Structure 1
Amino acid sequence: MMANIRSRLQFGNKVADVKLRKRKSQLYSKEDESPLNNGELRAKVVVFSVVFRLINCFLVQTSFVPDEYWQSVEVSHQMVFNYGYLTWEWKAGIRGFSYPLLFAFIYKILHLLNCDSVYLLIWLPRILQALLAAFADVKFFFLIRTLESRDVAKWTFFCHLCSWFSWYCCTRTLTNSVETSVTCLALFYFPLPGSKTHSSKTYLSLVAFAVIVRPTALIVWFPLLMYHFWQEDNKLRLITHNLIPIGSLAVVISTVIDCIFYEKWTVVQFNFLKFNVFYSVADFYGSHPWHWYITQGFAVIMGPHLPLFVHGCSLAFKRYKILLAAVVWTVAVYSLLPHKEFRFIYPVLPLCMVFCGTSLANLKAWRRAAAFILLVSNVAAALYTGLVHQRGTLDVMSHLQTLCDLSSTSAPPQPDILFLMPCHSTPFYSHVHCPMKMRFLECPPDLGEEDYVDEADRFYDDPLRWLRTSFPYKSSLPTHLVLFDVLEKEISVFLKVNHFVRTAEVFHTHFPEGRVGGSIFIYERH
């Protein structure tokens, strides 16, 4: 009997020892995966992310949309150097100066140090964007490390970094780029299920900054904020100690900045809402069918990641349903607005990468093949769009910048450049940095004027007539014309009669469309 009891106790002890060893093994394994053991790992991730995004920055040499210049560095240049051109939005008070002020600060330092070369004016804002994107990458990686296993975190980070659309956008001086990077940072402190880095004040402050930079950031964050409110035990404290103070301070700071630079009382957020919702000004720049984001927009920005995203949703729906809800909500809200662009839904891309990483980590036997296909296809798209597609509108400004030496002399004729292109096709004084005379075809929206037609449309309706009417005397002619190749034939008579000679041809795109040609021509009057 005693022997039987002793044998049972020994067996129980063995079982307990096995369980203890297994538990220790799990703890050690978990410790290896924990961000707490991350001194060396953090340094490696930081260095890698910074180097990666700086390379990313210098390998993006193409233009995307006019706003990356006209809502940022062009405004900053005007603020610091007191010459340039501000679009109608800045005259109507629907854009805030807080974001251009960041670059204006850099420009002012360069000016005071007498180092304001055009090269630094172009690249330092881009480098600042790259460093912000790198910081967001680091936070994104360690967020996933706190939520998932090392394997899932590794593949999620891989998916995030090899996204062609992130590569294409994140280092540009676009408000959408800042909005996306700040969204990544805020997610690190957001109370996701299982998160150990929650800080309401920090993430709400970051969200407030994103809304100041781009008011539509509130669309992405609305379901996330509602989720936090629903989950919060002390809802009154959340509102009175966090939401109201942080929101009020953000509005006050941004309003003070705008009032200083507008030199009058201006609430940009109200004006933005008034013009875009009540006056539907955005529709002036094009409209798309309601399903455009579903059938085209979302698929394009996801690219080769799309199958992984669909698979990942089936695996991680319950765990990350709030992130999926934010993606669906954002796409749905933007689908209701007539004017649509790929970049508008860019901020949901990091949220989607959580599902893509989960999918890739669970593919097991097919993982390496899927990762290879994902990498190659994204690298091809990233390099083509970053180095080839639509680069002419930047390269042509480098050609024109050489005319600055002529503008600094008193000898006539002084450079007088006319851009016969769709309005805002190129950057402007931020990319030449000298006060030579330049003008382009303007296209402010219809703000209620009867039978309104903007200057660009009037020109394209009858280019020859517009040119003859605008320049009745040879003395009033510009010295240089910049135009897409598709326009050359229509105005060839004007060019010949007035002795304009083509002096440069700049490649722009392999996919010309409408008024945008494959090449850009520079004509000089002799």
Structure 2
Amino acid sequence: MERGREDASLTLRGLQNRSHEKIKLRKRKSTLYFSTQEKNARRRGDLLGENIHLVLFTIALRILNCFLVQTSFVPDEYWQSLEVAHHMVFNYGYLTWEWTERLRSYTYPLIFASIYKILHLLGKDSVQLLIWIPRLAQAFLSAVADVRLYSLMKQLENQEVARWVVGAITGLIVKYSSLVALAFIIRPTAVIPWTPLLFRHFCQEPRKLDLILHHFLPVGFATLSLSLMIDRIFFGQWTLVQFNFLKFNVLQNLGTFYGSHPWHWYFSQGFPVILGTHLPFFIHGCYLAPKRHRILLVTVLWTLLVYSMLSHKEFRFIYPVLPFCMVFCGYSLTHLKTWKKPALSFLFLSNLFLALYTGLVHQRGTLDVMSHIQKVCYNNPNKSSASIFMMMPCHATPYYSHVHCPLPMRFLQCPPDLTGKSQYLDEADVFYLNPLNWLHREFHDDASLPTHLITFSILAEEISAFLISSNYNRTALFFHTHLPEGRIGSHVYVYERKLKGKFNTKMNSELSEIN
């Protein structure tokens, strides 16, 4: 009993002594305990809602990627954007058949036309700025998309119910629905991946009628009205290009003129190719991801299924699903333990090699040759005396947007048959049936011959007789690809026509110098 009392008294004394000491409290890190001033101070160091260093790093990475891409991918990179913008501002260039048939909206090219107009007013519309400023602008937009995807994943992981599509806050509904509407205006098929997301939003929204009447309809009406007014100005008549686009590509399915693939192509080839070395991690991540992310997988599968119903298929059509796929790849890498570092090294090295090869080597000749055409124009005081004819698959190179000089140029055209003729062949098809005969028929006298011919190396031997008889000499060549196929050669050749009079004058001057 006494021993117990002694212990109790010692404990009491210890507590009394500690009460006179300063007790250090643990500082909480949670933002719930920050004051309004502290939160505002933290936000000042943010950009786009994220850490400023992360945002700047993402922008720098995208800009680096922009300069590392020195190759071409598809003709629409130039012909449906920069070429149209150049025509809008400088009143010369070439508009493809899609614009004469009013299948495209001027809304997207107007972005680049605004840049071109500003450069023109400032007197800075050099060809290099016309090429690089739009690319840098798109690199910045890509960086913004990267940051927002990162923010999205943080929200998904911090919320039990992932209502990111809904926007949770009313103000965000207007923002995201405006972006969806703008994407549809620019490219009507953009509605395909958004369909399951919008449907999910509608199902989860308790005030469905309010969502439609006060958000979706006003935003859709405003965006469509803007598109109609822009196209009315540039087409000269009221045109609903979104309907024309869907009618041509979906209802009439005339896109098959440019090739068709079996229904399973996206699943058997297209999707595995664009994922590349990420494919096994995507499959692994699909099994690991929580149920709240199923909507993203549904969106991927829905997009592949819808595009599989169309006969004409291209890799780029399903690029919009890649960000969703990376979500599942991220889950796979997160759950790897022993193999995480080897997996990351494998992905980095494999994609680095492919990125450098496709960005710096593969299919670069058709861009490099445009620099040569620029020199032909700017080094020739009489621009009308020089002329260019591109004997290549149609739209193989950029055009006036990469020359910025009113130099007479021509290429083999390939518009689809819109009249329903049987056995229809475009100009490029007719040319490649018998290039030599076509050249002799087309250029029946010396006056009609262009000063410069540009062609792929695969055609050189077949038209050598024409080149010799017309006094064409090869003056430049540019590497294009290690994988030539069909009408595409490994190199791009430039031929220049030497007039006999010039040859005689040059020989006489050389002889006089010798004497």
**What's the CA shift for 1:85?**
0.5
1:69-218 matches, within 5 Å, as: 69-148=78-157, 190-191=165-166, 199-218=172-191
**What's the CA shift for 1:146?**
2.2
* Equivalent position amino acid for 1:359 in 2: S
Which of 324, 327, 337 is equivalent to 2:310?
Answer: 337
Which residue does the alignment assign to 1:18? none
Which residue does the alignment assign to 1:401? 374
Which residue does the alignment assign to 1:458? 430
Which residue does the alignment assign to 1:517? 489
Q: Give secondary structure in 2 for the equivalent of 1:403.
A: helix
Which of 443, 448, 453 is equivalent to 1:481?
Answer: 453
Are 2:63 and 1:54 equivalent residues in the alignment? yes
* Equivalent position amino acid for 1:273 in 2: L
1:267-346 matches, within 5 Å, as: 267-346=240-319
Q: Give secondary structure in 2 for the equivalent of 1:511.
A: coil
Are 2:483 and 1:508 equivalent residues in the alignment? no
**What's the CA shift for 1:30?**
10
- Paired with 1:31 and 1:422, the residues of 2 have a C-alpha distance of 65
**What's the CA shift for 1:274?**
1.7
Are 2:499 and 1:490 equivalent residues in the alignment? no
Q: Give secondary structure in 1 for the equivalent of 2:474.
A: strand
Report Cα offsets for 1:231-259 as digits up to 9, x if no partner.
11000001001111111111111011011
Report Cα offsets for 1:12-42 as digits up to 9, x if no partner.
xxxxxxxxxxxx999759999xx99674661
Q: Give secondary structure in 1 for the equivalent of 2:397.
A: coil
* Equivalent position amino acid for 1:270 in 2: F
- Give the TM-score, by structure 2 length: 0.86
Which of 397, 402, 413 is equivalent to 1:431?
Answer: 402
* Equivalent position amino acid for 1:140 in 2: L
Q: Give secondary structure in 1 for the equivalent of 2:105.
A: coil
**What's the CA shift for 1:303?**
1.0
**What's the CA shift for 1:79?**
0.3
Report Cα offsets for 1:174-202 as digits up to 9, x if no partner.
xxxxxxxxxxxxx996238xx78982111
- Paired with 1:292 and 1:26, the residues of 2 have a C-alpha distance of 55
- Paired with 1:59 and 1:197, the residues of 2 have a C-alpha distance of 41
Higher relative contact order (CA closer than 8 Å, sequence separation 6+): 1
- Paired with 1:470 and 1:402, the residues of 2 have a C-alpha distance of 27
Which of 323, 327, 350 is equivalent to 2:323?
Answer: 350
**What's the CA shift for 1:405?**
2.1
**What's the CA shift for 1:279?**
2.6
- Paired with 2:311 and 2:339, the residues of 1 have a C-alpha distance of 41
> Percent sequence identity over matched residues?
57
Q: Where does structure 2 lack aligned partners over 5 or more consecutive residues?
A: 5-25, 499-515
* Equivalent position amino acid for 1:482 in 2: I
Which of 415, 418, 426 is equivalent to 2:386?
Answer: 415
CA distance 1:27–1:507, shift in 2 (3 Å): same
CA distance 1:523–1:424, shift in 2 (3 Å): same
Report Cα offsets for 1:294-337 as digits up to 9, x if no partner.
11111111111111110110011512010100000001111111
Task: Check whether the contact 2:289–2:331 (CA below 8 A) recurs between aligned residues.
Answer: yes
Task: Check whether the contact 2:457–2:490 (CA below 8 A) recurs between aligned residues.
Answer: yes
Which residue does the alignment assign to 1:159? none
- Give the TM-score, by structure 1 length: 0.84
Report Cα offsets for 1:179-234 as digits up to 9, x if no partner.
xxxxxxxx996238xx7898211110110111111110000100111111111100
- Paired with 1:26 and 1:442, the residues of 2 have a C-alpha distance of 69
Q: Give secondary structure in 1 for the equivalent of 2:489.
A: coil
Are 2:336 and 1:368 equivalent residues in the alignment? no
Task: Check whether the contact 2:297–2:324 (CA below 8 A) recurs between aligned residues.
Answer: yes
Most deviating of 308-317 and 89-98: 308-317
Task: Check whether the contact 1:323–1:351 (CA below 8 A) recurs between aligned residues.
Answer: yes
**What's the CA shift for 1:264?**
1.2
**What's the CA shift for 1:145?**
1.8
Which residue does the alignment assign to 1:153? none
**What's the CA shift for 1:267?**
0.8
Task: Check whether the contact 1:143–1:188 (CA below 8 A) recurs between aligned residues.
Answer: no
Q: Give secondary structure in 1 for the equivalent of 2:477.
A: strand
CA distance 1:136–1:191, shift in 2 (3 Å): same
* Equivalent position amino acid for 1:523 in 2: Y
- Paired with 2:269 and 2:404, the residues of 1 have a C-alpha distance of 38
Task: Check whether the contact 2:166–2:205 (CA below 8 A) recurs between aligned residues.
Answer: no
* Equivalent position amino acid for 1:389 in 2: H
CA distance 1:233–1:197, shift in 2 (3 Å): closer
**What's the CA shift for 1:407?**
4.7
Q: Give secondary structure in 2 for the equivalent of 1:96.
A: coil
Q: Where does structure 1 lack aligned partners over 5 or more consecutive residues?
A: 4-23, 150-186
Which of 178, 196, 202 is equivalent to 1:223?
Answer: 196
Question: Over aligned residues, Cα RMSD in angstroms?
Answer: 2.4
Which residue does the alignment assign to 1:472? 444
Which of 225, 238, 242 is equivalent to 1:265?
Answer: 238
Task: Check whether the contact 1:74–1:84 (CA below 8 A) recurs between aligned residues.
Answer: yes
Q: Which has the larger radius of gyration?
A: 2
Task: Check whether the contact 1:139–1:188 (CA below 8 A) recurs between aligned residues.
Answer: no
Q: Give secondary structure in 1 for the equivalent of 2:430.
A: helix
- Paired with 1:490 and 1:60, the residues of 2 have a C-alpha distance of 33
Q: Give secondary structure in 2 for the equivalent of 1:374.
A: helix
Task: Check whether the contact 2:165–2:198 (CA below 8 A) recurs between aligned residues.
Answer: no
- Paired with 1:198 and 1:145, the residues of 2 have a C-alpha distance of 20
- Paired with 1:218 and 1:244, the residues of 2 have a C-alpha distance of 15
Which of 52, 65, 87 is equivalent to 2:74?
Answer: 65
Q: Give secondary structure in 2 for the equivalent of 1:83.
A: coil
- Paired with 1:493 and 1:387, the residues of 2 have a C-alpha distance of 34
* Equivalent position amino acid for 1:247 in 2: G
- Paired with 1:496 and 1:513, the residues of 2 have a C-alpha distance of 26
**What's the CA shift for 1:353?**
0.9
Report Cα offsets for 1:446-470 as digits up to 9, x if no partner.
1125242100000001111111111
CA distance 1:286–1:78, shift in 2 (3 Å): same
- Paired with 1:290 and 1:203, the residues of 2 have a C-alpha distance of 32
